[in-house]
A and B are shown apart, each in its own frame.
Chain A
Amino acid sequence: MKPHPPKYALEFLRWFCREDYLEEVEGDLMELYDKYYKQSPARAKWKFTWNVILYFRPEFIKSFNSDQYISPTAMFRHNFLLTYRTFKRYKTSFFINLVGLSCGIACALLIYLWVNHELDVDKFHEKDAWLYQVMENWEADGGIRTEFATSGPMAEALIEEMPEVEYTTAVAPSSWYGFSRLSLSVGEKNIKAAGQYVGKDYFNIFSYPLIYGNKNEVLSDKNSIVISEKLAMKLFNTTEDIIGKVVAFQHEQEFMVSGVFKGIPHYSSTQFDFVLSFEILKETRPWVTSWGSTGPLVYLVLKEGTDIQQFNDKLKGFIKKVKHDENNSRMPFLQRYSHHYLHGTYENGVQTGGRIEYVRLFSFIAISILLIACINFMNLSTARASRRLKEIGIKKVVGAGRKTLIFQYMGESILMAFFSLILAMLVVILFLPHFNQITGKELTFGLEQKPIVSALLIAFCSGVIAGSYPALYLSGFKPLGILKGKLNASVWEFWTRQGLVVFQFTISIILIVSVWVVHRQIEFVQRQSFGYDRENVIWFDIEGRLKENTDTFLSEAKKIPGVINAAATSHSMIKHNWSMQGMEWEGRSPDDKTTFQIAGVGYDFIETIGVEIKEGRSFSRDFGAESEKIIFNEAAIEAMGLKNPIGSTVNLFMGKKEIIGVAKNFHFESFHKELKPLFFVLLPHGINKIMVKIEAGKEKETLEGLRNFYETYNQGFIFDYRFLDDDYQALYVVEQRVSTLAEYFTGIAILISCLGLFGLATFTTERRLKEIGIRKILGSGEFRIVHLLSGDFTKMVLLAILIALPLSYFIATWWLESFAYRIGLKWWFFMGAGSIALLIAWFTVGLQTVKAARINPIDCLKDE
């Protein structure tokens, strides 16, 4: 028997020695060993070990950086080819991944565009960092109410008394006039447009570039008007040489064009077509010059470097100071103008949220959908790992390191992601117009740098995430085991795959519940009884001749067939218009701060919109001195604590009034808000709207009749009416958009999850075909096989339901809290969502399992 040198010494040598030296060194050592062995075996062994130790020096130790340098392009080509072949061979999983990832990336891109736009709104003003709005906190009804409006004189007072202020302006926004409802005319041409009254420094504060006119001077004359390029084209068919031309406003006043501004960008939250001087508003509406009334918005630019905290502290007592009234409850403060759009909700004087919540919500949805798509890729790649075992084994034997393999699989998933990106971009371009319609935005997806870079980044990230788990998993196989055909499917791996499916379905179920709740709430809000009948009620402004002859117009209008009733009103019935504090009544506590909404109306108004009178009577021409009477709603009576309201008197800024009736509560604001105290009074002047109730089913004829009558009666004005119901729907436009979007995205999330489940089911049934064949031969029925195959998936979905329901409960409760009037969460919302998920999962898996269960056992058993 040949003598063997010490085993451990030899192994040690082999471990550390450079491979190109090893044979020589080992050979020489062996020769010496053989020689010494003949003399003394023990000494030979010792000598051998000692020599090995002497070799342990830098010249002989190998580099432990195992990866050899390989030409990157060759490696790339090789990987690319393999990827291409994999895609070609496993077409189903390729398409599942492609569809899933491109849907995911497309959603992420659309949401990215939307979020980006939301974040950009109002940030384009040059002085954005120092551009503030004056807001007011009011102590009212036992808390603090935040108002966006302040008093007209605030603008001038601030610039006079606060040295930190650079520019100020008071603004009467276009929303006062229902946006596009003001008449402008040049000669015979008549146009309705949105306008606002602004201070002379308006264009210094806001960066709306002027094409003609100097921004310091365009509004210095109170009879000037600055119009947009678009409006100029409409009025004059040109934008040139129109400075100094005359435009008639409401057929009453005449203004001279002093400037033309470029169209307002769509990422501005303020939209208008023309501006007039605030000075002229002071003449037509003198109340805007009073500290006692609020309504105008005041914006200002602070000098750079002003400490906003200090400024706000100074501002807090400003109104008390100018009004010399220590008990005044109004506390003005500044809010960044561009902050306003996303953070516009206040609760008890503290900024609580606003649109930013939707921005966060959709960012979350985008990430969830991408994750779901990535998980599909992970699951399908790892599930199909057994198909690639030989490839991995051979590669490892030939010397591929783990890093090379990770690189290869990552490359595969990133390539997949970029394929999907191309498809996703097509989808985005295709669906953008529709998406814009839903969101009410003008988003574009062009070849600008920012969206393209973001798109690439999104694709790359999803590629890395999708590839990470398969890459680590596949590269970790032991080559010896896999070449022998043994794949130890570890428990951990099994659980990971199941866990990922559970995660996908958890997200899908949360989305289903959320969409359901949002949908129900919006439905609730729209179907809710308001306490009045807004169906078939139209309204239009009192303009021109109607102003003097409102009553004549109304009595004539009522004779038109199809008109049920008509009345004048100053209250829009859908939002806060006019309110007051400081009413006096019997038994009022001295520090009472109840705010009352004022509905100044004409005769028949209560009847026209169908508000019910609970006690007493409505205003009627049959009684005298009706203008000294008042009608409260139930909420007001409750707030005042009156036991027998009818007949008692109250004192307010309009004088003493006798209560003649109590109206049932009705909603005159968005359902986000609590019902507030309100009263009706007859107003002789200052009423600005007419509401007409039309017979159902005769809308078209009646409106035609009204139009003819209106346009002959009020020549020069366009009969521009709106349905009250449409205006009401517009209050929930944000919720409706969110609801529609969320429905789409949930659908996509479910679709992607199901694609993944489908892929997984296909694969599992394929692998178990032999088992199914044997079971069938042994007499198992089709139903049992379907049951067997769906069992695992059912468990996963059930687990997902279990996790998702409490989570979705919290999310739904949180969202509903923003409504003062909301639906209750019913158990069947959650059970319903769970059942939907389960049914969809069963259906998806069923497509495969039923097919597998019906297979003829001969087909799957005849091979081998």
Chain B
Amino acid sequence: MIEHSLGEFEELVLLMVAAFHDKAYGVLILENLEEKLGKKVNISAIHVALKRMEHKGFVTSGYGGITKERGGRRKKFYVITALGKKVLDHQYALRTSIYQQIPKISFG
């Protein structure tokens, strides 16, 4: 499943795209990630992740309408695809199943 591989940061961004269905775009994802992670994230990193996932077919994108904000530049909204959702589910299932195998360990 190499073509469906998903990096850690990519997974976070993909989760964000899924969470903000239809409304996800660069700055929104950035702000929410920073909030959740509690650290600074670079906008270019988010764009790279988005472009890569778009290339892999996990997300699709489309322009919004022109507004006065952003100097008249359109926003580009990202939407998760079926494949992206499947990969996300798969990832989640995998982690959960392994997690459940952990014996109860006491750390004193």
Interface of A toward B, CB cutoff 8 Å: 2, 21, 23-32, 34-35, 51, 54-55, 57, 59-60
Contacts and interface: CB of A to CB of B under 8 A. Distances in A.
B7 interface: no
B76 A51 contact: no
12 contacts: A21-B47, A24-B26, A24-B73, A27-B70, A28-B25, A28-B26, A28-B43, A31-B27, A32-B27, A35-B27, A54-B44, A54-B45
B73 A51 contact: no
B43 to A, nearest CB: 6
A394 B38 CA distance: 53
B3 interface: no
A24 B76 contact: yes
A59 B48 contact: yes
B65 interface: no
Nearest to B50: A24
A18 to B, nearest CB: 10
Contacts of A28: 25-27, 30, 43, 47, 70
A21 B74 CA distance: 11
Contacts of A34: 69-70
Given A51-B42, A51-B43, A30 B70 contact: yes
> Which 4 residue pairs across A and B have the least CB separation, nearest first?
A27-B73, A28-B26, A24-B76, A54-B44
B108 interface: no
Nearest to A24: B76
A759 to B, nearest CB: 52
Contact of B47 (A23, A25, A31, A35): A25
B85 interface: no
B51 interface: yes
What DSSP secondary structure best describes chain B's contact surface? Answer: helix
Nearest to B64: A27
B42 A54 contact: yes
A35 B63 CA distance: 22
A23 B43 contact: no
Contacts of B26: 24-25, 27-28, 31
Interface in B12-71: 25-27, 30, 42-45, 47-48, 51-52, 63, 69-71
A54 B73 CA distance: 21
A24 B47 contact: yes
B79 to A, nearest CB: 15
Given A24-B76, A31-B27, A32-B27, A51 B44 contact: yes
A558 to B, nearest CB: 114
B27 to A, nearest CB: 5
A57 B27 contact: no
B76 A23 contact: yes
A29 B30 CA distance: 11
B92 to A, nearest CB: 28
Contacts of A29: 43
A35 B51 CA distance: 24
A21 B51 contact: yes
Given A21-B51, A24-B26, A30 B73 contact: yes
A23 B48 contact: no
Contacts of A60: 47
Contacts of B73: 23-24, 26-27, 30
Given A23-B76, A24-B26, A24-B76, A30 B48 contact: no
Contacts of B42: 51, 54
A55 B27 contact: no
Contacts of A27: 26, 70-71, 73-76
A23 B74 contact: yes
A34 B48 CA distance: 22
A43 to B, nearest CB: 13
Contacts of B47: 21, 24-25, 28, 55, 60
Contacts of B43: 28-29, 32, 51, 54
Which of A31, A34, A51 has the most chain B CB within a 10 Å cutoff?
A31
A38 to B, nearest CB: 14
Given A27-B70, A32-B27, A55 B44 contact: yes
A671 B69 CA distance: 98
Contacts of A25: 26, 47
Given A24-B74, A27-B75, A54-B42, 20 more contacts: A2-B71, A23-B63, A23-B73, A23-B76, A24-B75, A27-B71, A28-B27, A28-B30, A31-B69, A31-B70, A32-B30, A34-B70, A51-B42, A51-B43, A51-B44, A54-B43, A55-B44, A55-B47, A59-B48, A59-B51
Nearest to B25: A28
Nearest to A25: B47
A24 B62 CA distance: 10
Residue among B25, B44, B52, B74 with most chain A CB within 10 A = B44
B33 to A, nearest CB: 13
Nearest to A54: B44
B67 to A, nearest CB: 10
B56 to A, nearest CB: 13
Contacts of B45: 54
A2 to B, nearest CB: 8
Nearest to A50: B42
A377 B47 CA distance: 54
A57 B43 CA distance: 13
Contacts of A35: 27
A21 to B, nearest CB: 7
A53 to B, nearest CB: 9
Contacts of B48: 57, 59
A206 B75 CA distance: 89
Nearest to A53: B44
Quick one: which of A21, A27, A51 has the most chain B CB within 10 A? A27
A60 B44 CA distance: 10
A694 to B, nearest CB: 104
Contacts of B51: 21, 59
A60 B46 CA distance: 13
Nearest to A23: B73
Nearest to A5: B71
- Residue of B30, B52, B73 contacting most chain A CB atoms (<10 Å): B73
Contacts of A32: 27, 30, 43
Between B47, B63, B69, the greatest number of chain A beta carbons within 10 A of the residue's beta carbon is seen for B47
